[in-house]
Amino acid sequence: MKTDIRRLGTSAQGIPVYAFRYIWGGPVFVGTMAQDLLAIRPEAVINTGSGYYMVDYDKLDIAMISLPKDGSFLTPEAAVALAVESGRMRSSVPHPQLVVQRTS
């Protein structure tokens, strides 16, 4: 479901952070991969039973964010910092933020 995947760095909690696009198009996103979390933070991964994993970003120190159309001016470090700061800001959001990823 993702393309143009590029590792940017790691959050303070050890969460791998990536930039990627979805195969159907749209902006560049910064977030993590459920498959990585299965080994290090399985409590942040939900297996839907329909062949997809979902990331529960409320259990992580980052949030998934979309970058401006021309986000090329951002360094990988700046993109990771934005995702971490967005994670801090969302603490007032009462519902989980879930992102779906195919398991196969």
d(CA 95, CA 9): 27
Counting the structural domains of the chain, the total is: 1
3-20 confidence digits (pLDDT tens): 999 999 999 899 999 999
Contact 3, 24 (CB under 8 A): no
Q: What was the pLDDT predicted at 60?
A: 93
Range of the domain at 85: 2-102
Give all strands of the β-sheet with 45-47 in edge-to-edge order.
Answer: 45-47, 52-56, 98-102
Q: What is the mean pLDDT of residues 41-58?
A: 92
Statement: residue 95 has pLDDT above 70: no
At residue 2, what is the residue type? K
With 70 as the cut, is the pLDDT of residue 89 above it? yes
**Per-residue pLDDT for 26 more than 90?**
no
Predicted confidence (pLDDT) at residue 56 exceeds the cutoff of 90: yes
